């Protein structure tokens, strides 16, 4: 056997050590990534309170540092904004006819800002988000609906409303669903616009990651799901299939796909923002479709549903159905009837009705405690989310230091 034949035979019979090492390296990386994700899942207040609070405050200090740096970089714009506010304040201190218009304008600005802020809190992506439609806008629309059917008019004060809605002295002739929808259009549109603004952070984060050549963790998970879908043996859950469906719809259809995702209640809309940012879809294409879908189409659907459910006939029908519940029907029906009677009495307080039910109803007490508990959970979710975000940055920093050392 010649030397050349021996070398060729050795190449054929020797194992591919490079391939084995690459497979082992990939397996080690997957194991480490799994361990990191499991460790991050334990960083919550009810499992590691001290570590979670420590990471939360460090992340908060990081955000404050970024805000201060950003303000310093744009110091001239900040000075101009402060001077504008001071000028407006000084103008408001001068007596004159302009105060009437400025006061009305100020009320509308504060009213619109209030609903925009609630909309942002609903979809900003901090933890689970605060369900401000259920807690604030929905009850507001329901209250206006009950008042409209009781007053037989929508001529009570226009937004911004006072503390209490009072029926007009002249008796109305009747109301329709569309009249009520028009009455609450301003606050509903502003809330929807706030939810559209709250969807911008995932878009900008994914866009910045794509331009910088880095991949965010959520974006990586989405890409892994898409790769798993291509595998014929992949067994995906319903949630994963919904995520991939949102990704494919936005990627293939563009503006219309974003509009469709934004026009229905969609808890996975963050994925649409991530997809649009990753594929560098223009800002106004993404934001325009999101604004139209959330502030116009979806809000009209939600308004129509609430007004329909809280119309006089349907409310009475629901109360009657509660009474048919075995054993507990009458007990559950009582607080609803008490609450409705109290609200109707308040609407006629100008007419001299003195026998307004006093005290707090069970329904109002339960709703108050529900609001408090949801706000507490929202705050806890923010703390957990920020602590886990700091843990993610810490791991990236450690990985980068190892690469630099190597």
Provide the domain limits for residue 59. 54-95+375-397
Q: Per the domain annotation, does 10 fall within a domain?
A: no
Looking at residue 160, the DSSP 8-state letter turns out to be S
State the Cα–Cα distance between residues 293 and 295, nearest whole angstrom: 6
Which of the listed residues 310, 342, 363 is the one where a domain comes to its end?
Answer: 310
The predicted-structure confidence for 299-350, as pLDDT tens digits, reads as follows 999 999 888 888 877 777 777 788 788 877 777 777 777 777 777 777 666 5
Q: Is residue 272 part of a domain?
A: yes
Task: Give domain status of residue 201, yes or no.
Answer: yes
pLDDT at 168 over 90: no
Of 59-73, 133-147, 165-179, 190-204, where does mean pLDDT reach its minimum?
A: 165-179
pLDDT band at 27 (very low <50, low <70, confident <90, very high): low
pLDDT for 190: 94
Mean pLDDT value across residues 252-280: 81
Domain shared by 174 and 273, yes or no: yes
CA distance 37 to 291: 34
Report pLDDT for 303: 92
Q: Is 314 helix (H, G, I), strand (E, B) or coil?
A: helix
Which H/E stretch holds residue 328? none
Top pLDDT among 116 and 314 is at 116
Question: Which range (50-59, 63-72, 143-152, 323-332) has the least confidence?
Answer: 323-332
Q: Are residues 79 and 176 in the same domain?
A: no
Angstrom distance (rounded) from CA 331 to CA 361: 13
State residue 3's pLDDT score: 46
364 domain-assigned? no
In a domain, 21, yes or no: no
Q: Are residues 162 and 291 in the same domain?
A: yes
CB 175 within 8 A of CB 246: no
Q: Domain for residue 44, yes or no? A: no
Residues 316 and 254 in one domain: no
Same domain assignment for residues 186 and 215: yes
| Per-residue model confidence as pLDDT tens digits over 174-232 | 788 888 998 899 999 999 999 999 888 888 888 887 787 666 666 666 666 666 666 65
pLDDT over 90 for what percent of the chain? 15
Q: Given this model, what pLDDT does residue 352 score?
A: 42
More confident of the two residues 361 and 55 = 55
Chain segment 349-362, per-residue pLDDT in tens: 654 444 444 555 66
Does the residue 356 lie in any domain? no
Residue 276 within a domain: yes
Residue 246 to residue 227: CA distance in whole angstroms: 15
How much of the chain exceeds pLDDT 70, in percent?
Answer: 75
Given a cut of 80, is residue 66 above it in pLDDT? Answer: yes
Whole-prediction pTM: 0.74
Report whether pLDDT(103) > 70: yes
CA distance 56 to 381: 11
d(CA 319, CA 342): 15
Task: Over range 55-80, report the average pLDDT.
Answer: 90
Residue 135 near residue 371, CB atoms below 8 Å: yes
How many structural domains compose the chain? 3
* The pLDDT of residue 210: 78
């Amino acid at each position: 056997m010649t030397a050349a034949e021996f070398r060729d035979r050795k190449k054929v019979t020797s194992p591919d050590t490079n391939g084995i090492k690459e497979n082992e390296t990939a397996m080690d990386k997957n194991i480490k990534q799994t361990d990191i994700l499991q460790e991050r899942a334990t960083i919550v207040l009810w499992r590691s309170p001290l570590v979670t609070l420590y990471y939360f405050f460090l992340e908060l200090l990081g955000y404050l540092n970024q805000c201060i740096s950003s303000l310093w970089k744009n110091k001239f714009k900040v000075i101009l904004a402060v001077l504008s506010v001071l000028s407006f304040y000084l103008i408001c201190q001068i007596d004159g006819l302009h105060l009437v218009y400025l006061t009305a304008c100020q009320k509308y600005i504060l009213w619109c800002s209030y609903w925009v802020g609630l909309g942002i809190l609903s979809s900003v992506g901090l933890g689970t988000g605060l369900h401000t439609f259920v807690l604030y806008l929905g009850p507001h629309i329901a209250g206006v609906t009950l008042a409209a059917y009781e007053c037989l008019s929508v001529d009570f004060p226009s937004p911004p409303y006072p503390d209490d809605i009072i029926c007009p002295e002249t008796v109305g002739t009747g109301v329709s669903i569309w009249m009520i929808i028009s009455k609450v259009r301003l606050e509903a549109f502003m809330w929807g616009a706030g939810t559209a603004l709250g969807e911008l952070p995932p878009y900008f984060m994914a866009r910045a990651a794509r331009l910088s050549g880095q991949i965010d963790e959520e974006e990586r998970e989405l890409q892994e799901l898409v790769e798993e879908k291509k595998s014929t043996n992949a067994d995906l859950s319903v949630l994963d299939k919904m995520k991939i469906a949102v990704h494919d719809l936005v990627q293939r259809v563009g503006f219309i796909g974003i509009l469709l995702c934004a026009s229905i209640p969609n808890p996975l809309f963050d994925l649409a923002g991530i997809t649009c940012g990753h594929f560098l879809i223009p800002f106004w294409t993404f934001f325009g479709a999101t604004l139209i879908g959330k502030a116009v189409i979806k809000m009209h659907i939600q308004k129509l549903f609430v007004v329909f459910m809280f119309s006089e006939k349907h409310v009475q029908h629901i109360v009657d159905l509660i009474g048919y519940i075995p054993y507990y029907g009458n007990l559950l029906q009582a607080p609803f009837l008490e609450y409705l009677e109290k609200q109707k009495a308040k609407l006629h307080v100008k007419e001299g009705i003195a026998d307004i039910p006093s005290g707090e109803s069970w329904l109002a007490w339960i709703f108050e405690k529900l609001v408090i508990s949801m706000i507490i959970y929202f705050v806890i979710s923010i703390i957990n989310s920020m602590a886990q975000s700091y843990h993610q940055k810490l791991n990236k920093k450690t990985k980068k230091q190892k690469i630099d050392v190597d």
